[in-house]
Amino acid sequence: MGLRFTFVLLCLLAGSVDAASATPSSPHKAYLSLIIDDLGQNLPRDRRVLALPGPVTAAIMPDTPHAAEVAREAHRAGKLVMLHMPMDPATGPFAWHPELPIEELGKRLDAAFAAVPYTSGINNHMGSRMTAQPQAMAWLMANLQQRHKFFVDSRTSAQTVAAAEAQKIGLASVSRDVFLDDERTEAAIAQQLQTAIDLARRQGSAVMIGHPYPQTLAVLERELPKLKAQGIEWIDIKSMISLRSNRAMVGHGKDGVYR
């Protein structure tokens, strides 16, 4: 009886070892999203952005000569379109400033949306002073919710409350993790892309923002096609918002809550 039990036990153990070796644990998923800001100023350059592989999001400034045309071309190319909303210290007819009344902010937002068709959401252009204004940001998030638009906090300031105000009312939103091209050299941009990849592997996802600089585009044209082979899932910003479920990453807050 004892020998038979020992034999059966050994067989079961051997089977479990074989099963474990035959079904290795699946690798940790890593997701990346990319937004290119400041579009609408230069058609040939912007078309190069739209030709990038994968679900790159086009963030278009309303006060540019080709805003509507680039938005239409991006939409035809299957790219998500965002309004790249100027905010203080940005200037111009659409720009938001802290001293403006809510009524004027609303008029400027309406005009900006009219200038950029096919928008799914917005992110801030500059905005270090404006995104630190709780009342204005709370109004903006409620307005975007009524319009069924999402918000991306570019996080141009450590004092931003924009994502926190979006989170309070459950507005679909996400925050930028990595700026690709604060330093405009191919080597620095490639290093920032690698930083984003490493971050995505650690925390599951990373949101990148870049600009249509020649150096940035050269790196992206070269490196984006290689992401899949590196085990990186390339998703659009709407999918990233869904993936993160409006929760803050470690760099943006604590326990999923924006600070």
In a domain, 18, yes or no: no
Distances (CA, A) of 135 to 88, 97, 141, 161: 15, 12, 10, 10
Number of domains making up the chain: 1
Which residues, listed in sequence order, are joined to residue 153 by a DSSP beta bridge? 175
In a domain, 180, yes or no: yes
Helices and strands in the chain, H and E counts: 9, 11
In a domain, 242, yes or no: yes
In a domain, 10, yes or no: no
For every residue of 100-155, DSSP letters joined together read S-HHHHHHHHHHHHHHSTTEEEEEEEE-TTGGG-HHHHHHHHHHHHHHT-EEEE--
Distances (CA, A) of 22 to 19, 26, 126, 203: 5, 12, 52, 28
Which amino acid belongs to residue 155?
R
In a domain, 115, yes or no: yes
**Domain region containing 55:** 28-247
In a domain, 127, yes or no: yes
In a domain, 183, yes or no: yes
- Round to whole Å and give the CA distance between 22 and 39: 50
Collapse the DSSP code of 61 into the 3-class scheme (helix H, G, I; strand E, B; otherwise coil) and give the result. Answer: coil
User: 226, exposed or middle or buried, with CB in 10 Å at 0-12, 13-18, 19+?
Assistant: exposed
Cα torsion at 65, 71, 72, 77 (round to 10°)?
A: 130
The predicted model scores a pTM of 0.88
Contact of 236 with 205, CB cutoff 8 Å: no
For residue 74, the domain's CATH number is 3.20.20.370
Per-residue pLDDT of the chain (259 residues; tens, 9 = 90+): 444 444 434 444 444 333 333 333 335 799 999 999 999 999 999 999 999 999 999 999 999 999 999 999 999 999 999 999 999 999 999 999 999 999 999 999 999 999 999 999 999 999 999 999 999 999 999 999 999 999 999 999 999 999 999 999 999 999 999 999 999 999 999 999 999 999 999 999 999 999 999 999 999 999 999 999 999 999 999 999 999 999 999 999 999 999 8
In a domain, 159, yes or no: yes
Which amino acid belongs to residue 72?
R
Burial 123-162 (b: 16+ CB within 10 A, else e): bbbbbbbbbbbeebbbbbbebbbeeebbbbbbbbbeebbb
